[in-house]
A = this chain, B = another copy of it.
């Protein structure tokens, strides 16, 4: 007897179009479901333990992920597909998209715009200062490398990853606070700046590598243009689109329509953001801002729950997947190499100290500047993308701009900034008054 259901699992993929059944090599859906069950229980139990000792639940989820991801070190390889399977990657992406959508729903556009100038300054300072620190730090610790490598290492430190901070803000109920609004606004602007930095740095390095190459001003203008087109389009479409959704939810007969259309807009905006090369979560956040139901509460007279209530169950299931998978990608073996650790220490220090300059970029009075700086610390996959691009850029000497050692150090820097932020940010935000423990 053949394994009928493992057979079924692979057949589910494209069976009716049998001729098109290509060997994608995905993991069995049932195995993914079993893994999700494990993730959910691990995330909630460890999250609860962390809340009991006054630590954010998200740190517990990340560490549960680190544990799961490093099981191969003790010989357990059953779950090692978690970090490489495209389906797990998709579920994690859905998780962080829904998190930022929820955060957008809890935010208020006009309140966000009121701190727009600060957000812009914070984002700019938060890109420039870590870049400079990274450049000088690299010159100091890697004197043998070319200046291209130094510039590139600086660029790796530039971009903030907002997922971790958004989650901590949400857990503490601080999304509507001035600090929260500045951080979230700066994160969106930061994503646009990151695109520009990568284009500029690549242009510089390619210009050095090839005669006739150089900075592509038109290309950079195109990037900036596309980003503004997306954000402008989101604002212009937002009002009518959201009005239409809430009306349609009243007119159409099928149930669950408000949620389905809202999530469709969230996913479509994520896709549109990706299409203009912004992060999908920027699109999800924009969708949440637009569908901010505060303005439309009166329109809802039916038996439907409010939109936020309906998004919460989706978040409860998928958001932990993102953090557990993020934790699982932490490869502890990188920590065993002391030469990498030295470079990593310098990068991490530059990353953390550099973003503290953001504190001084806040224009408003009475704001918890320390929390703003701490909230900008996490570097996520963006820094690693920069590093990856660097490994594929070959200098005239035949060396890549970013060598293996530097890449590994960048990985450690991302791990450190990711894990250090939840406890210190939640401590910093909680200093003034006690906020109730709250977790998705």
Q: A-side interface residues toward B, CB under 8 Å?
A: 1-9, 11-18, 20-22, 24-34, 36-38, 40-41, 43-45, 47-48, 51-52, 57, 69, 80, 83-87, 89-94, 97, 195, 198-199, 202, 216, 219, 223, 252-257, 259-261, 263-268, 270-275, 277-280, 305, 309-317, 320, 329-331, 381-382, 384-385, 388-389, 407, 411, 414-415, 437-440
Q: Are B274 and A329 in contact (CB under 8 A)?
A: no
Known: A2-B389, A4-B385, A381-B15. A274 touches B317 (CB 8 A): no
Known: A33-B93, A52-B253. 20 other contacts (CB 8 A): A2-B389, A5-B279, A11-B384, A16-B331, A20-B83, A21-B84, A26-B86, A29-B93, A30-B280, A33-B268, A38-B268, A40-B263, A40-B267, A43-B260, A51-B254, A90-B90, A256-B312, A260-B317, A263-B317, A314-B314
Q: Are A216 and B93 in contact (CB under 8 A)?
A: no
Known: A33-B93, A312-B256. A14 touches B329 (CB 8 A): yes
Known: A16-B414, A83-B14, A267-B33. A8 touches B44 (CB 8 A): no
Assembled-state Cα–Cα distance A265/B34 (Å): 9
Please list the 3 inter-chain residue pairs (A to B) with the smallest Cβ-Cβ separation, ordered nearest first.
A26-B86, A34-B271, A256-B316
Q: Are A16 and B254 in contact (CB under 8 A)?
A: no
Q: Are B277 and A94 in contact (CB under 8 A)?
A: no
Kindly list chain B residues whose C-beta atoms are within 8 Å of the C-beta of A21: 84
> CB < 8 Å: which of B84, B253, B267 contacts A437?
B253
Assembled-state Cα–Cα distance A388/B12 (Å): 12
Q: Are A33 and B94 in contact (CB under 8 A)?
A: yes
> CB < 8 Å: which of B3, B16, B38 contacts A384?
B16
Q: Are B83 and A7 in contact (CB under 8 A)?
A: no
Kindly provide the distance from the CB of A79 to the nearest chain B CB, expressed in whole angstroms.
Answer: 12
Counting every copy of the chain, the complex holds: 2
Q: Are A34 and B267 in contact (CB under 8 A)?
A: yes
Kindly list chain B residues whose C-beta atoms are within 8 Å of the C-beta of A216: 1
Closest to A265 in B: B37
Kindly list chain B residues whose C-beta atoms are within 8 Å of the C-beta of A89: 12-14, 26, 29
- Which of A14, A25, A94 is packed against the most chain B CB atoms within 10 Å? A14
Kindly provide the distance from the CB of A279 to the nearest chain B CB, expressed in whole angstroms.
Answer: 7
Kindly provide the distance from the CB of A110 to the nearest chain B CB, expressed in whole angstroms.
Answer: 27
Assembled-state Cα–Cα distance A354/B278 (Å): 56
Closest to A86 in B: B26
Q: Are A440 and B256 in contact (CB under 8 A)?
A: yes
Known: A16-B414, A264-B41. A57 touches B254 (CB 8 A): yes
Q: Are A32 and B90 in contact (CB under 8 A)?
A: yes
Q: Are A12 and B93 in contact (CB under 8 A)?
A: yes
Q: Are B277 and A3 in contact (CB under 8 A)?
A: yes
Kindly provide the distance from the CB of A238 to the nearest chain B CB, expressed in whole angstroms.
Answer: 16
Kindly list chain B residues whose C-beta atoms are within 8 Å of the C-beta of A382: 8
Q: Are A44 and B261 in contact (CB under 8 A)?
A: yes
Q: Are B7 and A389 in contact (CB under 8 A)?
A: yes
Q: Are A14 and B84 in contact (CB under 8 A)?
A: yes
* 13 A-B pairs with C-beta separation under 8 A: A6-B274, A7-B388, A14-B329, A15-B385, A17-B331, A18-B411, A29-B94, A29-B280, A30-B274, A33-B274, A37-B263, A44-B256, A48-B254
Kindly list chain B residues whose C-beta atoms are within 8 Å of the C-beta of A407: 18
Kindly provide the distance from the CB of A13 to the nearest chain B CB, expressed in whole angstroms.
Answer: 4
Assembled-state Cα–Cα distance A33/B96 (Å): 12
Kindly list chain B residues whose C-beta atoms are within 8 Å of the C-beta of A439: 253-256
Kindly list chain B residues whose C-beta atoms are within 8 Å of the C-beta of A84: 13-14, 17, 20-22, 24
Assembled-state Cα–Cα distance A260/B37 (Å): 9
Known: A1-B219, A311-B313. A13 touches B85 (CB 8 A): yes
Kindly provide the distance from the CB of A210 to the nearest chain B CB, expressed in whole angstroms.
Answer: 15
